[in-house]
Amino acid sequence: DTGVSQDPRHKITKRGQNVTFRCDPISEHNRLYWYRQTLGQGPEFLTYFQNEAQLEKSRLLSDRFSAERPKGSFSTLEIQRTEQGDSAMYLCASSSSGNEQFFGPGTRLTVL
Amino acid sequence: GENVEQHPSTLSVQEGDSAVIKCTYSDSASNYFPWYKQELGKRPQLIIDIRSNVGEKKDQRIAVTLNKTAKHFSLHITETQPEDSAVYFCAALYNFNKFYFGSGTKLNVKP
């Protein structure tokens, strides 16, 4: 499968725990995006990487959220001290310079 | 930043009829406008896009129009089929780096 992949697909955690999600973009894509999507809403931009550089970060991304893309390939999104309001679908997308984004299947986070 | 508004939130049409979904954006610097289709439990899939130097683009039964002056763009689906039923999202690319999405339109095509 040469599309965008995300792991895990589902994560259930207790409030206060830390979670980490992984995204593997399409191999030749240098741009990588993270979004959060809640039920009935469109994806909300969280952060953007061009290669390994994090060039944009939304104000939605509080100090509990951090993202990395250390080698310009896969990326991780970590949420520390999870809260119930963090429950959502976390989507990753990648693109080349042509702007067209390809989305991964998402990681559904449930915080109990 | 950018603000994208999308209407209507739900749309129900009879099979074979046309469907139109409209979006407005706030920042004139936005220059790329994709439309995504998302079926229940699945990832968003790009169905058509338009750049700011073009007024209209068509791909079979789907077309998108862009009015830069009024800062709005629309998705047109003709001869709708039950498999067109899904949630559709518009988006605008702001500052070359950030995509802002509309809140979605749930399209129901009745057979």
A33 vs B: CB within 8 A: yes
Q: What angle do CA B3, B42, B2 make, to 5 degrees?
A: 10
Name every residue whose Cβ is closer than 8 Å to that of residue B41 and which is 6 or more positions away in sequence. none
The Cβ of residue A54 has, within 10 Å, a number of other Cβ atoms equal to 15
The per-residue pLDDT of chain A, averaged, comes to 92
Averaged pLDDT score across all residues of chain B = 94
Range from A54-63, B3-12, B94-103 carrying the lowest mean pLDDT: A54-63
Question: Rounded to a whole number, what is the distance in Å from the CA of A48 to chain B's nearest CA?
Answer: 7
Please spell the DSSP secondary structure of A43-71, one letter per residue: -EEEEEEETTEEEEE-TTS-TTEEEE-TT
**Option in A33, A42, A56 nearest B89 (CB):** A42
pLDDT-based confidence at A1, cuts 50/70/90?
low
Using omega within 30 degrees of 0 as the cis cutoff, is the peptide bond preceding B8 cis?
yes
- How do A10-13 and A107-111 pair as beta strands? parallel
Chain B: give the shortest CA distance to residue A84, in Å.
Answer: 21
Q: What is the pLDDT of residues A57-97, one digit of tens each?
A: 887 777 899 999 998 899 999 999 999 999 999 999 999 87
B98 touches chain A (CB under 8 A): yes
Sign of the CA dihedral A85, A49, A92, B83?
Answer: positive
